[in-house]
Amino acid sequence: MKLKLHVWRQKSPKAQGKMTSYDVKQASPDMSFLEMLDVLNEDLAQKGEDPIAFDHDCREGICGSCSMVINGQPHGPEQGTTACQLHMRKFKDGDDIFIEPWRAKAFPVLKDLIVDRGAFDRIIQAGGFVSVNTGGAQDANCIPIPKHNADLAMDAAACIGCGACVAACKNSSAMLFVSAKVSHLALLPQGQPEKTRRVLNMVNQMDKEGFGNCTNQYECEAACPKEISANFIAKMNREYLGASFFSQEE
Amino acid sequence: MKLDAKIPSGPIEEKWNNHKFDLKLVNPANKRKYDVIVVGSGLAGASAAATLAELGYNVSCFCFQDSPRRAHSIAAQGGINAAKNYQGDGDSVHRLFYDTVKGGDFRSREANVHRLAEVSVNIIDQCVAQGVPFAREYGGLLDNRSFGGAQVSRTFYAKGQTGQQLLIGAYQALERQIGLGRVKMYTRAEMLELVVDNGRAAGIIVRDLATGEITRHAGHAVLMATGGYGNVFYLSTNAKGSNVTAAYRAYKKGAGFANPCFTQIHPTCIPVSGDYQSKLTLMSESLRNDGRVWAPKNKGDKRAPSQIPDAERDYYLERKYPSYGNLAPRDIASRAAKEACDDGRGVGDTGLGVYLDFRDSIKRLGKHTIQERYGNLFHMYQKITAENPYEMPMRIFPAVHYTMGGLWVDYNLMSTIPGLFVLGEANFSDHGANRLGASALMQGLADGYFVVPSTLSGYLADLPRTSIATDTSEFKKAETEATDRLNQFINIKGKKTVDTFHRELGKIIWDRCGMARNKAGLEKAISQIPALREEFWKNLKINGTGSELNQELERAGRVADFMEFGELMCRDALAREESCGGHFREEHQTEDGEAKRDDENFAHAAVWEYKGDTAIPARHKEQLEFENVKLATRSYK
C-alpha cells in the first residue's frame, strides 16, 4: 500500500509545532499502525532526519502508553482498539492519514506525539486507592463479594489510563477515567470506608489539573479502547452528590 | 567471587520464620533516616517501594515509562498461583513448593522456593484487601482455574488481565505513598549506571528521558526490579522498552550473573508475518485446554487446513506425550513445534507455524462455550491475523517470553555487591531452568511485599544513618562513564540504524541460542557477536543530541548492552553441557529426543563474574542441594 501521512511535529514543549507530510511507499496490510510508523522512522533515521517520537511499550493494547489521534479519532477508526493493535488493513491504498497527539491543556506536548499524562497519576494520588498497609490483611475469603459486583468492578478496573477519553472530549474532560476508578472501588466492600473522601478528593484534583466538565456527549465511551461504559460517570455523579451532602466534618 | 547463599539452618518449613526473627530490625524513628532507591515499578518494584515507604523508609522510585502503571507486568494474562487450597483439592504450601522445584527441572534453590510458596497465601490476602477484583463464584468467594505443571486448581485470576489488576493494585499503593510524600517518584527516568562506593551499592546515575538531563541519586541500599532480558532476541513477547541495561551495568560493577542461558520459549504465540514485525503476541496457555495442536503429516503440504483429512494430520503432542497430550509443559511443547517445522511440515507462508485447532471442541461443546472461555483471545487473534479462529485453526509458533536467569542473589535477595538487592524476574533464584505458568506474578509480589521489606532491615541496621554523599569520586566517575557513552553513540555518525543492529543480533541469538543449542552453533555465535559489536561501535547512526527527548539514543544504550550480554548468554549455554528445562543442548538428549540432565556435574547455578571488556568472564558455581524434593527425571509420556 502507498500512503500519505500528515504528522504533528513539535521539537520540544515550548517549540512551535506543525503538520508535516510524509510518503509511505510500502506498507503491508498485515502491519500494525505502529509498525508502519517504525518503517517510516527507519527511513527518516537513515536519511538523517529526526524520527517521529511516539509513546509505546507493550504493543498488546494493555499498557496504555500509545496515544495518538488518527484521522480525528483517538487510537483510530477501529472500535475498542488501541493504536498498537490497529492494523493497516483498516486503511486503503492511497489514503491520507492525519496523526496528532492527545490535545488537552492538562496533557502538555513533550515532543511530536508524546504528551505528559502525569495529571492522571496525581488524580490517583488524591484518593484512587484503599488505604491498607502491607501485612495486616485478613484471609481473602473473609470478604465475600457478590459475583455481579465483582464483575462490574472489574469492568471499571479494566481502564488502561491511556487518556483517549480526554482526547475525544470537546471539553477535555477526564470524567470517564476518574469515574472508572471511583466506581471500581465504590462497588467493593474494601472501598467503603474511604468512599466519601475518595470521590471528593479525586474530583477536586481533576478540576485542579485543568480538565473540563462532562456535557454528556459520550465521545469518551466511543473512543475508549477498553469500552468502559459512560454509566460509570453517572455512578460517580451519584457518589459525588452523596458525598457532598453527607460528608463528615474533618 | 564469594557465593554465600546464607540459607538459614533448620527444617525447610521453619527457615523463613526463624530467619525473620534473627534479622536485625530498624527502630521506627530511624527508618526515615535511610534512603532506599528502587529501580523499576512493575509488580516487584512497585510493591517494594510502597511497602518500604509504609514502613517509614525514605524511598525514591524510578521507571523509564511515563507512569509506573505501564511496567510490563501489566501484560500478564493468565493468573497468579497461591497455595490457598480453597478448592479443597489437596493443595498445600509443600505441594506448590514441590511443583515449582520439579517444574524448574531441579535448578532452583529449595529454601527460596519454599519461602515463595509460604508467602503466596499472604499475597492473595493483601491484593484482595487493596480491592483487586479477582474472579468470584456466585457464593461470593474467590474462583480458581488450573494451569500447566500442576494437578490442583490454585490459580487466581481477573479475566484475562490478572497482571494488569495486580499491577494496578501495587501502583495504587505506590501512588498513595507518593501522595503522602514518602516516595519520590521519577518517571521517564532511566538508570544508566550503578555507583559502588567502598564496596557497597551507594546509588545510581539516571537520565531524564524527557530532557536528557543526567543526575546522581544516593541511597543506603539500591533495589533493582528491572525485569528480564528477553529482548536480546529482538523479537519477544516483552514490551519494546524492556532491557538488560540496569542488570548488565550492575554485572559490570561486580554483581554475579546467574544462568543467563535459561530463557523460556512460550509455545503459543502468533507467528512472525514479515520483516517489519516489531514484537510477538502471546496467546494464553489456557487455550491448550481445548485446542489440539497439529502439523500436516506430509512435508510441504500446502492445502488449506480444512482440506487435510484427519488421517493426514499429526497431532504430535498427543502422539508423543499421551498422558499430558496438549498440556505438556512449555519447554517440551515448544521443542516439539520446532521439530515439526524443521522437518518441513510447518504451515503458513513462512513454514514457521503449526495449527492450534478448536474444531473438535467447538463440535463437542458448542461455539458459545468456546466463546465464553476464550472470546477475548479469539478476538485479539482475529484482529492481528485477519483470520477467524472459529472457522480455521489458529497458526502458532513458539516465542521468547521470560528469562529465568538473572542477577545472583542470596537468601536475602542481595547480590554479590553489598547493598544491591534484586527482585522479581531480574533475579535468578526461584524458577530454575523452567518457570511454571502463573508463577511470575507470584514471585514479583512475594519479593516486593513480603521478602525484601524484612531482609532489607537486616542489612540497613548495621549501617550508619548519615546520608550518602553524591560528590564522591565514585559518583563522578560513574556519571562521566554514562555521559561519555551517550556522546560516543552520537559521535559515531555511521550508516546503520540501531534497530538494524538489534535485528541482526536477535537473529544470531535466536538461531544459535534459541530453542535448541549445540556446541558448534554456540561457538559460531561467540565469534559472530563480537564482530557485530565492533561494527556497531564503528557504524552506528544516531540522529539528534543527548540533551533532548531522543528515542533512538535510548535504544542505542540498551542495544549496546544486549550486544555484550548476548555473548555472555552463549558462553553460559556452551559451558552447561547438559539439557535442562528451557536449555536444550542437542548433544544431550535421550534416544527419543528428550532433555537429558546431568545432575552429577551440573546441579548448580552458574554464576558469571565480569573480568574486563577484553577478558573472558569467570564461571563460578553455587551447588544446589535437594534435601526435600528428590532429584528425578521429568516425564510427561
Distance CA B221, CA B452 (A): 11
Distance CA B377, CA A60 (A): 11
Residues 6+ apart with CB under 8 A from B320: B336, B637
Q: Among residues B514, B249, B568, which one has the least CA distance to residue B397?
A: B514
* CA atoms within 13 A of residue B426's CA, in its CB half-sphere: 35
Residues of B in contact with A126 (CB under 8 A): 179
Q: Is the dihedral of CA B222, A122, B177, A65 positive or negative?
A: negative
Q: Is the pLDDT of residue A187 over 70?
A: yes
Burial B570-603 (b: 16+ CB within 10 A, else e): bbbbbebebbbbbbbbeebeeeeebbbbebeebb
Return the pLDDT at B310.
95
Q: Is the pLDDT of residue A250 over 60?
A: no
Distance CA B283, CA B333 (A): 14
Residue carrying the nine cell digits 510447518: B346
Q: Is the pLDDT of residue B369 over 80?
A: yes
Q: pLDDT (tens digit, 9 = 90+) per residue, B544-578?
A: 999 999 999 999 999 999 999 999 999 999 999 99
- What element of type H or E holds A204? helix A195-208
Residues 6+ apart with CB under 8 A from A36: A3, A24, A27, A88, B276
Q: Is the pLDDT of residue B380 over 70?
A: yes
Return the pLDDT at A248.
63
Distance CA B402, CA B262 (A): 9
Nearest to B75 among A60, A138, A145 (CB): A60
Q: Per DSSP, what are the bridge partners of residue A166?
A: none
Q: pLDDT (tens digit, 9 = 90+) per residue, B246-271?
A: 999 999 999 999 999 999 999 999 99
Binary contact (B549, A85; C-beta < 8 A):
no
Distance CA A84, CA A81 (A): 8
When mean pLDDT is compared across A104-108, A166-170, B147-151, B426-430, the lowest value belongs to B147-151
Is the distance from CB of B61 to CB of B174 less than 8 angstroms? yes
Binary contact (B65, A65; C-beta < 8 A):
yes
Which residues of B are designated catalytic?
A: 330
Q: What is the DSSP letter of B481?
A: H
Is the distance from CB of B197 to CB of B472 less than 8 angstroms? yes
Which phi and psi angles does B244 have, rounded to 5°?
A: -105, 0
Is the distance from CB of B89 to CB of B152 less than 8 angstroms? yes
Confidence of residue B332 (pLDDT cuts 50, 70, 90): confident
Nearest to B543 among A28, A48, A184 (CB): A48
Return the pLDDT at B146.
80
Is the distance from CB of A9 to CB of A37 less than 8 angstroms? no
Q: Do domains A3-111 and A117-132+139-246 have the same CATH topology?
A: no
Determine the Cα angle at B62 with ends B57 and B64, to 5°: 170
Q: Among residues A115, A240, A132, which one has the least CA distance to residue A189?
A: A132
Q: Is B211 on the interface with A (CB under 8 A)?
A: no
Nearest to B172 among A29, A124, A139 (CB): A124
HEC readout, B577-591: CCCECCECECCCECC
Q: Is B350 on the interface with A (CB under 8 A)?
A: no
C-alpha B509, offset from chain centre: 17
HEC readout, A4-52: EEEEEECCCCCCCCEEEEEEECCCCCCCEHHHHHHHHHHHHHHCCCCCC
Distance from CA of A241 to the nearest CA of B (A): 23
DSSP B319-331: HH-TTTGGG--HH
What cell was used for B414?
542481595
Residues 6+ apart with CB under 8 A from B135: A150, A154, B142, B143, B156, B157, B158, B159
Binary contact (A63, B281; C-beta < 8 A):
no
Mean pLDDT across the stretch B58-70? 98
Instruction: Give residue B108's identity as a one-letter amino acid code.
Output: S
Instruction: Give residue B248's identity as a one-letter amino acid code.
Output: Y
Q: pLDDT (tens digit, 9 = 90+) per residue, A192-234?
A: 999 999 999 999 999 999 999 999 999 999 999 999 999 999 9
Distance CA B21, CA B48 (A): 20
Query: Hey, which bits of B128-167 come out as E strands?
Result: 155-156
Which phi and psi angles does B618 have, rounded to 5°?
A: -90, 140
Q: pLDDT (tens digit, 9 = 90+) per residue, B194-253?
A: 999 999 999 999 999 999 999 999 999 999 999 999 999 999 999 999 999 999 999 999
Q: Is B387 on the interface with A (CB under 8 A)?
A: no
Neighbours of B11 (CB within 10 A): 10
Q: Place domain A3-111 in its CATH homologous superfamily.
A: Beta-grasp domain (3.10.20.30)
What cell was used for B59?
524511598
Return the pLDDT at A247.
63
Binary contact (B276, A38; C-beta < 8 A):
yes
Q: pLDDT (tens digit, 9 = 90+) per residue, A21-41?
A: 999 999 999 999 999 999 999
Which phi and psi angles does B556 have, rounded to 5°?
A: -60, -45
Residues of B in contact with A191 (CB under 8 A): 131
Binary contact (A45, B543; C-beta < 8 A):
yes
HEC readout, B172-185: HHHHHHHHCCCEEE
What cell was used for B398?
513458539
Minimum CA–CA partner of B188 in chain A: A116
Rounded to 10°, the helix A175-186/A195-208 angle is 170
Whether the complex's predicted ipTM surpasses the cut of 0.95: yes
Residue ranges of domains in chain A: 3-111, 117-132+139-246
Is the distance from CB of B600 to CB of B577 less than 8 angstroms? no
Minimum CA–CA partner of A124 in chain B: B175
Is the distance from CB of A142 to CB of A45 less than 8 angstroms? no
Interface A-B: count of C-beta contacts within 8 A: 216
Output the CA–CA distances (angstroms, integers) from residue B169 to A97, B42, B166, B214, in the order listed: 38, 11, 5, 31
Is the distance from CB of B286 to CB of B78 less than 8 angstroms? yes
Q: Is B284 on the interface with A (CB under 8 A)?
A: no
Residue carrying the nine cell digits 487493596: B130
Sheet holding B200-208, edge to edge: B189-197, B200-208, B214-218
Nearest to A147 among B71, B72, B137 (CB): B137
Return the pLDDT at B187.
98
Among B residues 161-180, those touching chain A with beta carbons less than 8 Å apart: 161, 164-165, 168, 171-173, 175-176, 178-179
Q: Which has more confidence, B592 or A56?
A: A56
- Using a pLDDT cut of 70, give the percent of chain A over it: 98
Binary contact (A118, B66; C-beta < 8 A):
yes
Output the CA–CA distances (angstroms, integers) from residue A148 to A80, A145, A187, in the order listed: 23, 8, 10
Q: What is the DSSP letter of B435?
A: P
Residues 6+ apart with CB under 8 A from A186: A192, A195, A198, A199, A235, A239
Q: How are the residues of chain B apportioned to helix, strand and coil, as percentages rounded to the nearest 5?
A: 40, 15, 40
* Domain architecture of chain B: domains with CATH: 266-399 (3.90.700.10), 473-603 (1.20.58.100)
Distance from CA of B155 to the nearest CA of A (A): 14
Distance CA B97, CA A187 (A): 35
Residues of B in contact with A143 (CB under 8 A): 128
Q: Among residues A165, A158, A159, A156, which one has the least CA distance to residue A67?
A: A165
Minimum CA–CA partner of B176 in chain A: A125
Return the pLDDT at B172.
98
Q: Per DSSP, what are the bridge partners of residue A231?
A: none
Nearest to A153 among B66, B133, B386 (CB): B133
Q: Is the pLDDT of residue B143 over 70?
A: yes
For an interface test with A, give the residue of B85, B130, B547, B559 to mutate (most A CBs within 10 A). Answer: B130
| Domain A117-132+139-246 in CATH 1.10.1060.10 | yes
Q: Is the pLDDT of residue A249 over 80?
A: no
Return the pLDDT at B147.
76
Q: Is the pLDDT of residue B366 over 70?
A: yes
Q: Per DSSP, what are the bridge partners of residue B282?
A: B269
- Using a pLDDT cut of 90, give the percent of chain B over it: 89
Confidence of residue B434 (pLDDT cuts 50, 70, 90): very high
Cα-trace Rg, chain A: 20
Quote the pTM value. Answer: 0.97
Nearest to A141 among B72, B75, B141 (CB): B141
